[in-house]
Amino acid sequence: MKPSDVAKALITCLDAKQPVCLWGSPGIGKSQIVHQTGLLTNREVRDVRAVLLDPVDLRGLPHVNGDGRSHWATPEFLPRDGQGIFFLDELNRAVMMVQNACFQLVLDGKLGEYTMPPEWRIVAACNRESDGGGVTKMSSALANRFVHLDCEPDLDDWCKWAVKSNIEPAVIAFLRFRPELLHKFDRTEKAFPSPRSWEFVSRITGQQPGKTVEFELFKGTIGNGAAVEYYAFLQLYRNLPSIDAILLNPTSANVPANDIGSLFAIASALARRADVSNFRRVIQYLDRMPQEYAVMSVKDAVGRNSALTSTNEFTTWAVEHSDVIF
């Protein structure tokens, strides 16, 4: 399932009071799906890294009250009121004794003397066993307590998030140009392309560290093969015609012919620069580009700045291109 569908399924399970476990390769954004779902549903997310727990961390420590009997002092991170999502991240990287401690908590919302508040829900995230990463096979007894959802990265979903999150337009343009590099997991490599590592690449690109170290930073983030391709594309992106010059002369500025990389790059750059004051000129230039690049650019622009949908230019453009945008 792509992330947007996983989020919808997750909300359904939260409303149905059903524990959920998300499965997927490292770096595809499982944790972010959970946190964004918490925001959408107005639920606090209590993020607990299961791999860092000992069994006693969940049950708590014994103590003796004035009645002379032993009781359990439950840990502070277990919720006591309100509503939220109790998120057990990296559950199958925890040792089996910790997983066993989760049995009753997942099924009944109880752990010894502790009872979870009725408006809290349990969500877990796991890496696939086939991906390695030091996972411990989840027992059938624990697995049977969850609804299991498989997560796969999706370029359209990632681009929608990236536009709203101010990811560098060069990164967005490159991944539209080379979509197969959004996620290319390699368990034998320290660095590999993933939705998470491309966010790191965006941060590095924005810092403009200089050619002497820039490639090595990319290589250390997404691996050598992807870094070579992205670095070459970035040089093309940085040598594009001035976006200011395009906006000053949108009806006469040069449009690259048969240069797919440049078309992706210009479309992404215009989407980042578009605002209410210059949108007419943006549309004038986009109308001279192949339709698929113009549609991509307008979608990114309005995704970043919803005020553009109230302009006459957008209304006219949307009517003319209704067959491809609706």
Report domain extents, the chain: 3-150, 155-325
Closest C-alpha among 84, 152, 71, 148 to residue 121: 84
Closest C-alpha among 250, 254, 290, 240 to residue 274: 250
Strand (E) or helix (H) holding 296: helix 291-304
CA distances from 279 to 89, 230, 242, 269, 287 (A): 43, 29, 17, 13, 12
In the chain, the largest separation of any two C-alpha atoms, in whole Å, equals 88
Residue-wise pLDDT tens digits, 86-124:
999 988 888 888 887 787 788 888 887 788 999 999 999
Closest C-alpha among 277, 267, 281 to residue 176: 267
Residue-wise pLDDT tens digits, 190-214:
899 999 999 999 999 999 898 889 9
pTM value is 0.82
**Would you identify the CATH topology of the domain 3-150?**
Rossmann fold (3.40.50)
Let me know if 287 is exposed, middle or buried by CB neighbors in 10 A (0-12, 13-18, 19+): middle
| pLDDT at residue 241, as a whole number | 81
Residue-wise pLDDT tens digits, 13-66:
999 999 999 999 888 999 999 999 999 999 999 998 887 877 677 766 666 676
| Residue 147, SS3 per DSSP | strand
